[in-house]
Amino acid sequence: MQLEVRGLSKSYGFAWALRDIDLELHGGDSVALLGPNGAGKTTLLKALAGLLRPTSGEIRFNGTSLRQGSARLRSTIGLLSPNDHLYEKLTAEENLRLFFALYSRKEKNGDIRGALDAAGLADWSGEYVAALSSGMKCRLSIAKWLLLEPKLLLVDEPYGVLDGGGVDLLEDQLKNVCRSGGIVVMATHDVTRAAAFCSRAVILRRGKLVFDEAKRRPWESFYSAVDEYRPRGEAWPS
């Protein structure tokens, strides 16, 4: 599994959201995508998901351009965006059934019930998504990608709405994706959790890639690079 990004740029009118991004990710990588507000993190995630047409540059997934092999490749890409991508007036179970079928998966051994159970939503399976809290919606999104088993899982700012159990559920799933040879790219502002979880960190600033390093101990270069994004007075874990 290999993801190559070459010279990726995206502009909205005269404003550049991404400029000349080069990245090469391999199976098993868990990447923390960091940067201040407006750095281009979500734009990069959407471009990697094939939801944005780049202004220039190319994204290749196992050597195949995301444009050329789009329908087949899309079935292996997941975008976990808390509170998004769920129909409000379908129940939790109906949402999973819809996307399960759209991804041409045939249910066996109560997969869907099992995923809801694993996400701690078994008792809410018949509730409309509109009636769920933000944290429960995020858990439902996690259950969705647990079922669909993507090879590349893109995660957009997941920590804000999850409780402790939800964070454990998320990180277990992300580890499973990496263990099975997949790639995880997580955009987050929670630098402490990102530093603990990731195997590599990428920092964007005004659409440009300014930092890209594999994790090491000690990781002073990372700490100094992200220091300006951290809240005042927040100490690094010892």
Partner 1 sequence: MRWTNIDREEKHGLPEPDRLLLWKDLLLELRRRESLLAMFFFGALLLFIFHFALDVRPEKAADMAPGLLWLAVVFCGTLGLMQLFQAERENRCLEALLLSPIDRAVIFVSKVFFNLILMVMLEIVIFPLFWVLFNLTAWDRLPMIFLYGLLGTVGFCVVGTLFSALTLGARGREILLPLLLLPMLIPVVLATIRGIEIVLQAGDFSEALPWLHLLIGFDVIFSTAGILVFEWIVEP
Which spans of this chain sit near partner 1 (rule: CB under 8 A)? 46, 49-53, 71-72, 74-75, 77-79, 81, 83-91, 93-94, 97-99, 101-104, 106, 129
User: At closest approach, how far in Å is the CB of 12 from partner 1?
Assistant: 9
Residue 71 or 235 with smaller CB distance to partner 1: 71
Residue 88 or 123 with smaller CB distance to partner 1: 88
Dihedral over Cα of 171, 134, 80, 23: its sign = negative
User: At closest approach, how far in Å is the CB of 73 from partner 1?
Assistant: 8
Residue 128 or 219 with smaller CB distance to partner 1: 128
For residues 91 and 224, give the distance between their C-alpha atoms in angstroms, rounded to a whole number. 45
| N- to C-terminal Cα separation, the chain | 34
User: At closest approach, how far in Å is the CB of 64 from partner 1?
Assistant: 14
Residue 186 and residue 194 in contact, taking contact as beta carbons nearer than 8 Å: yes
Residue 103 or 211 with smaller CB distance to partner 1: 103
Half-sphere exposure of 93 (CA within 13 A, CB side): 13
What is the residue type of 25?
L
Residue 102 or 196 with smaller CB distance to partner 1: 102
For residues 223 and 157, give the distance between their C-alpha atoms in angstroms, rounded to a whole number. 20
User: At closest approach, how far in Å is the CB of 237 from partner 1?
Assistant: 34
User: At closest approach, how far in Å is the CB of 182 from partner 1?
Assistant: 16
What are the residues whose beta carbons fall under 8 Å from the beta carbon of 68, sequence distance 6 or more?
none
Residue 148 and residue 100 in contact, taking contact as beta carbons nearer than 8 Å: yes
User: At closest approach, how far in Å is the CB of 179 from partner 1?
Assistant: 23
Residue 65 and residue 59 in contact, taking contact as beta carbons nearer than 8 Å: yes
If you ran DSSP here, which 8-state letter would residue 213 be given? E
What is the residue type of 129?
V
DSSP 55-73: SEEEEEETTEETTTTHHHH
Residue 55 or 192 with smaller CB distance to partner 1: 55
User: At closest approach, how far in Å is the CB of 51 from partner 1?
Assistant: 6
Residue 150 and residue 182 in contact, taking contact as beta carbons nearer than 8 Å: yes
Residue 144 or 193 with smaller CB distance to partner 1: 144
